[in-house]
Amino acid sequence: MQRKLEFWIITSTEDIASMNIRSQLLEDYSFIQVSDKSDEWVTWENHPTFLLETPKFAHVNIRLVLTDTAMVLLGDSIPKDKISRFIGADFAIFASRHKSKSAMPALLCHSTGNWSEETSFGGDPKTLCRTSARLVRLAFQNLVTQKQKFGLDWPVDLEVNHHGPTQLSFPLIFMELGSAEDNWNHNIGGKAVANAIMNTILSYLHEAPLNFSELSLNFSREELYSYIKQHESKVCIGIGGVHYARNFSTLLDRISISFIIPKFFVQGLTEDLLDQMISNTLEPIECAIIDWSSLNSADRLVLIKLLENKSIPWKKRKAV
């Protein structure tokens, strides 16, 4: 029997919004607590796990898990030689809160990573997670759909990469409910994010090039990711703009974007970080899209030299 792809939804007791979203998932979807002791992940982080009853995807486990660790720090204390077996996911969505000074309600998504040496919110310095541009696009689109479904007068935002975890060995994104405690406890807000998470996973499984008959019985993560990269459509990386990447989210109806480095980190962009933007994207990269008007002449000079040295094609955002 072939092993199943593991798609995890990760929640945390340290996060009010995460527990709200988790409650909505357990209430509205057919998650069943795992009782089969032969299941390697019958428990995780000293909590039982739950599997979605989904005959439509016989080759996939959609698993809801819980940790007592702050999600941005997940992986920080795990030795590198043990990190690959710490979490059994092949893909993961972190159901999380978002906090901002404005405290305005919002629905958000992004992949993770640190563009500088600063690691106050987890992860390693100058390190990016693994992610899928298709997953980022679907997350944003499904949050928009749920906002409209529930009539929420809240913005839906795509954020640039920030915070941890960065050490985990599978593609991940965060889907968030913001941006203050009243919102984190908001029943409809939690339901909107829960629905968006489920629809993102199901849409990904429906759209992505996943032909399990072409994978070995006990396929590894790397075999799976290599297969997807060979068969997946090309995607983009984003450069420039500000933290709330609205100049890039407006493009998601026609392209997919994995990583976005904001304008205030462009001077610190290195070949290694650029390599990570490409290699840590599950899909093959077509080009870099530059929010040209957000960059000054010094930024542009650094950036174009780097892209040309790496033979990476680029386009101005307004030309996309």
Residue where one domain finishes, among candidates 207, 227, 247:
227
Tokens standing for 136? 């980022």
Residue where one domain finishes, among candidates 169, 195, 227:
227
Residues 282 and 299 in one domain: yes
Q: Side chain identity at 116, as an amino acid letter?
A: S
> H/E element holding 200?
helix 187-207
pLDDT at 166: 97
The structure tokens 């989210």 sit at 249
Residues 165 and 303 in one domain: no
For the chain, strand residue ranges (E) read: 5-12, 31-33, 43-44, 47-48, 50-52, 60-67, 91-99, 106-110, 113-114, 127-128, 156-158, 172-179, 235-239, 257-261, 285-290, 314-316
Residues 123 and 245 in one domain: no
Residues 6 or more apart whose CB falls under 8 angstroms from that of 234 comprise 283, 284, 285, 286
Q: Is residue 302 within 8 Å of residue 269, measured between CB atoms? A: yes
Residue where one domain finishes, among candidates 206, 227, 248:
227
Q: What is the pLDDT of residues 133-186, one digit of tens each?
A: 999 999 999 999 999 999 999 999 999 999 999 999 999 999 999 989 999 999
pLDDT at 101: 79
Residues 21 and 113 in one domain: yes
Residues 88 and 214 in one domain: yes
Q: What is the pLDDT of residues 36-61, one digit of tens each?
A: 999 999 999 999 999 999 878 899 99
pLDDT at 249: 98
Distance CA 19, CA 177 (A): 11
Residues 159 and 294 in one domain: no
Q: How many domains does the chain have?
A: 2
Q: Is 193 helix (H, G, I), strand (E, B) or coil?
A: helix
Q: Is residue 193 within 8 Å of residue 143, measured between CB atoms? A: yes
Tell me the pTM. Answer: 0.97
Bridge-partner residues for 61, per DSSP? Answer: 6
CATH of the domain at 314: 3.40.50.10700
- The domain of 220 spans 5-227
CATH of the domain at 139: 3.40.630.50
Residue 254: burial class (beta carbons within 10 Å; 0-12, 13-18, 19+): exposed
In degrees and rounded to multiples of 5, residue 228 shows phi and psi of -60, -45
Bridge-partner residues for 172, per DSSP? Answer: 92
Per-residue pLDDT for 75 more than 90? no
pLDDT at 100: 83
